[in-house]
A and B are shown apart, each in its own frame.
Chain A
Amino acid sequence: MDFDLSDEQKDIIKAAREFAEKEFPNLAQECDHEEKSPRSLWEKACKLGFVGVFIPEAYGGQGLGFLEHCLINEEFWRVDPGIAHFILAGTFGSEIILLFGTEEQKKKWVPPLVKGQAITGAAITEPDAGSDVSSVRTAAALEGNEYVMNGTKTFITGGTLADYLLVLCVTEPHAQSRHDRFSVIMVETDRKGFEATKLKHKLGLRASDTAEISFSDVRVPKENLIGPPGRGFQQFMVFFDHTRLHVAAEAVGLAQGAMEQAIQHVRKRQQFGKLLASFQVTQFKIAEMATRIEAGRNLYQKAAWLLDHGRVESHLISMAKWYTGETAVKVAEEALQLHGGYGFIGDYNIERFYRDSKIVEIYEGTKEIEKTIIARELLGKY
């Protein structure tokens, strides 16, 4: 056993932290208020090598692990969750190309993501298919050498910004098992019939784009199919085993950032003639936050380390996902509470962190879905 990060990993953390601390704070409030994504900052992050570090060198990445990708997520989220999400979601979906795509597909679609030339995304959720992924209805019918796609998807990260999206759709409506009805198809967003409408007034993560997208007779060539037809559902389950990890790291980063803000505040703020930090109840709150964060960090690092060593432990990944999500929400809440009335006002960052936190318990599998996965592993058939 060895709980220490390597020197290289420590260097990555340091660089990511420096970049985020230098670049994010000036923009954070404005991007939140105006719901805008700082594109030039994303380009800069790509140039500096923070985006898609898990992508093999053959496709322009650094060939590092998901652990390293997680470490960058944590550091970015610690400074500002909204901007961090926008920058690092640019490769969201590339995991599925790397896992199931052909050599040609990888060469075509992956390198631009790392170079800051293109943004991708994964489009799964629909108005009536959230946690219940196999209720997806967006259809792709094969006509000659093309798929013709029709349907609507919602809550799609990067929907209005993406150059291409990986879309989960029904290609085998008559398959016996409902899990065998789906395929993943890459859709370039400049194709005719594709439309994206930005979803405004999200609770948090407002620097990051979220959209409703619709497909109206969108035609894509057959070569845009990722993996074999009918395997889309299963492919996305494997995909989630990867992407849930960086969400856990996001949550830990947010919690760490919120705790640090609370620590700073209680060491300055005086009431009843003494620092808030000198009240025992404050001390205990900080101790509890720090312990939960430490526990959350160990969980995601362990799951990511195992993944990087070829061992996909779905239940461990689910544990990391829900536990860190809950930690982020709890810590953000307690950190805001320690700010008192000031925490409710936009002068401090904590109200933004508080709003941002809730999503990590929802996307990439709600905490309820994560617990279902864990229970299935532990209880088996009953």
Chain B
Amino acid sequence: MDFELGNRQKQIRLAAREFAEGELAPIGKECEAKGEFPKDIIRKAAQLGFVGVFIKKDYGGLGLGSLEDAIIHEEFWRADPGLGQVFSQTTFGAKELVLFGTEEQKKKYLSPLVKGECVMGFSITEPEAGSDAAAVITRAEKVGEDYVINGNKVMISNGTEAKFLLVYCLTDPDQTQKSKRHSILLVETDRPGYKADKILGKMGLHASDTANIYFNNVKVPRENLVGVEGNGFLQLMKFLDHSRVAVAADALGLAQGAMEQAINYVKKRKQFGKTIASFQVTQFKIAEMATLVETARNLTYKAAWALDRGNPDTQVSAMAKWWASNVAVRIADEALQLHGGYGYLDDYPIERFYRAAKLLEIYEGTKEIQKDVISRRILGIS
């Protein structure tokens, strides 16, 4: 056993924190208000080596692990969840290519991501297929040497900004086993027939791009198949073991950031002739927050560590995901509460954290799905 981060990991945290505090925090409010996609920030982060650290050196990455990636996620989200999310989305889906892509695909698509030249996404959700991914009906038919894709997907990260997307499609509707009907295709977004409508009116995370996307006879060559045809569902499940850890790290960072804001505030704010930190109820709230953050951190790091030793632990990934996101929502709420009326105004960043937090309990598998995953493994009943 060893509960300490290595020196390299500590240095990565320090560097990520410095960048996040220096570059992200100061513009978080403005980016949220404008709702514009801050391309230059991604380029800057990429230049400093923060993007896709888990990608092998052969493809331009640093060849580090999920734990190092998680630490960067955590630090970025701690400083500003909105820009943290922009960062998280940049390589969203890259792990699927790492896990199942061909040598050629990795070379072609991963390198520009790491350089900050483009962003990608992974499109799964459809109007009638949310938690129930096996209900996806976006169709990819084989015609000659191509796949022809038709359908539409909703709530897709980077739908309007991505250079390419991984698309979860139905390739074998007649297959009796639901888990063998789908495949994952890589679609360049400049192909004819692809359309994206940016979604406005999200509750939080305004700087990050989310879109509804449409495929109208979009042709992609067979080489764009990622992994094996009919294996999409299984590949997606393996991907989720990884991506859920990244979301857990996002949640951890948000929770840590919200708690620190609360601590700073209660030490300054005076009521009834004393700082609100001197009230016992405040002290207990802070103690409970700190304990929850600690539990979320241990779970997240443990799940990441399991990934890095090549032994993904689906159960711990699911635990880390729902627990850390639940912690983020609870802490953001309590931290805002401690700010009183000021917390409700955008003079303080806490309202932004509060709005951002809720999504963590929803995407990448709702907390309900995580609990399904956990209990199925324990009870052996589905």
On A, residues with C-beta under 8 Å from B are 1-6, 9, 67, 263, 266-267, 275, 277-278, 280, 282-284, 286-288, 290-291, 294-296, 298-299, 301-302, 305-306, 315-316, 318-319, 322-323, 368, 370-376, 378-380, 382
Q: Which residues on the A side are within 8 Å of B1 (C-beta)?
A: 2-6, 9, 67, 301, 305
Q: Given A298-B299, A305-B2, A379-B263, is A372 in contact with B283 using a C-beta cutoff of 8 Å?
A: yes
Q: Given A263-B379, A283-B376, A319-B290, is A1 in contact with B299 using a C-beta cutoff of 8 Å?
A: no
Residue of A nearest to B298 (CB): A298
Complex CA gap A304/B288 in Å reads: 20
A379 near B286: Cβ-Cβ < 8 Å: yes
Q: Given A278-B381, A382-B278, is A298 in contact with B374 using a C-beta cutoff of 8 Å?
A: no
A3 near B287: Cβ-Cβ < 8 Å: no
Report which of A1, A280, A299, A375 forms a contact with B287, defined as CB distance below 8 A. A375
B309 to chain A, nearest CB (A): 9
A283 near B288: Cβ-Cβ < 8 Å: no
B283 near A375: Cβ-Cβ < 8 Å: yes
B302 near A298: Cβ-Cβ < 8 Å: yes
Complex CA gap A316/B287 in Å reads: 11
B residues 363-382 with Cβ under 8 Å of A?
368, 370-372, 374-376, 378-379, 381
Complex CA gap A378/B284 in Å reads: 11
For B, the interface residue count at a CB cutoff of 8 angstroms equals: 47
Complex CA gap A248/B295 in Å reads: 14
Complex CA gap A349/B379 in Å reads: 20
Report which of B2, B284, B287, B378 forms a contact with A286, defined as CB distance below 8 A. B378
B323 near A379: Cβ-Cβ < 8 Å: no
A382 near B267: Cβ-Cβ < 8 Å: yes
Complex CA gap A123/B288 in Å reads: 30
Q: Which residues on the B side are within 8 Å of A294 (C-beta)?
A: 299, 316, 319
Residue of B nearest to A301 (CB): B1
Q: Which residues on the A side are within 8 Å of B322 (C-beta)?
A: 291
Question: Do most interface residues of chain B lie in helix, strand or loop, or is the interface mixed?
Answer: helix
Q: Which residues on the A side are within 8 Å of B368 (C-beta)?
A: 284
Complex CA gap A277/B5 in Å reads: 39
B2 near A371: Cβ-Cβ < 8 Å: no
Known: A284-B371, A294-B316, A372-B287. 4 other contacts (CB 8 A): A287-B370, A295-B319, A322-B287, A378-B290
Q: Which residues on the B side are within 8 Å of A9 (C-beta)?
A: 1
Q: Given A283-B379, A302-B3, A379-B283, is A295 in contact with B372 using a C-beta cutoff of 8 Å?
A: no
Q: Which residues on the B side are within 8 Å of A296 (C-beta)?
A: 295
On B, residues with C-beta under 8 Å from A are 1-6, 9, 67, 263, 266-267, 275, 277-278, 280, 282-284, 286-288, 290-291, 294-296, 298-299, 301-302, 305-306, 315-316, 319, 322-323, 368, 370-372, 374-376, 378-379, 381
Complex CA gap A208/B323 in Å reads: 35
A375 near B319: Cβ-Cβ < 8 Å: no
Question: Do most interface residues of chain A lie in helix, strand or loop, or is the interface mixed?
Answer: helix
Indicate the member of A9, A284, A322 with the most B CB atoms within 10 Å: A284
Complex CA gap A323/B294 in Å reads: 11
Complex CA gap A172/B247 in Å reads: 56
A266 near B379: Cβ-Cβ < 8 Å: yes
Residue of A nearest to B371 (CB): A287
Complex CA gap A370/B287 in Å reads: 8
Complex CA gap A280/B374 in Å reads: 12
B305 near A2: Cβ-Cβ < 8 Å: yes
Q: Which residues on the A side are within 8 Å of B4 (C-beta)?
A: 1
A378 near B306: Cβ-Cβ < 8 Å: no
A371 near B379: Cβ-Cβ < 8 Å: no
Q: Given A298-B295, A319-B294, A382-B278, is A1 in contact with B67 using a C-beta cutoff of 8 Å?
A: yes
Q: Which residues on the B side are within 8 Å of A295 (C-beta)?
A: 295-296, 298-299, 319, 323
Q: Which residues on the A side are within 8 Å of B5 (C-beta)?
A: 1
> 6 closest pairs, A vs B, by CB?
A375-B283, A283-B375, A371-B287, A287-B371, A374-B287, A382-B277
Q: Which residues on the B side are within 8 Å of A288 (C-beta)?
A: 371
Q: Which residues on the B side are within 8 Å of A371 (C-beta)?
A: 283-284, 287-288
Complex CA gap A371/B284 in Å reads: 6
B305 near A374: Cβ-Cβ < 8 Å: no
Q: Which residues on the B side are within 8 Å of A379 (C-beta)?
A: 263, 266-267, 277, 283, 286
B247 to chain A, nearest CB (A): 15
29 sample A-B contacts, Cβ–Cβ < 8 Å, listed by A number: A1-B3, A9-B1, A266-B379, A275-B381, A277-B381, A283-B371, A283-B379, A284-B371, A291-B299, A291-B374, A295-B295, A295-B296, A295-B319, A296-B295, A298-B302, A299-B295, A301-B1, A306-B3, A316-B294, A319-B290, A319-B291, A323-B291, A374-B287, A376-B283, A379-B283, A379-B286, A380-B267, A382-B266, A382-B275
Q: Which residues on the B side are within 8 Å of A5 (C-beta)?
A: 1
Residue of A nearest to B301 (CB): A1
A3 to chain B, nearest CB (A): 5
B374 near A287: Cβ-Cβ < 8 Å: yes
A286 near B379: Cβ-Cβ < 8 Å: yes
Complex CA gap A323/B319 in Å reads: 17
A215 to chain B, nearest CB (A): 34
B155 to chain A, nearest CB (A): 24
Residue of B nearest to A377 (CB): B290
Complex CA gap A287/B320 in Å reads: 12
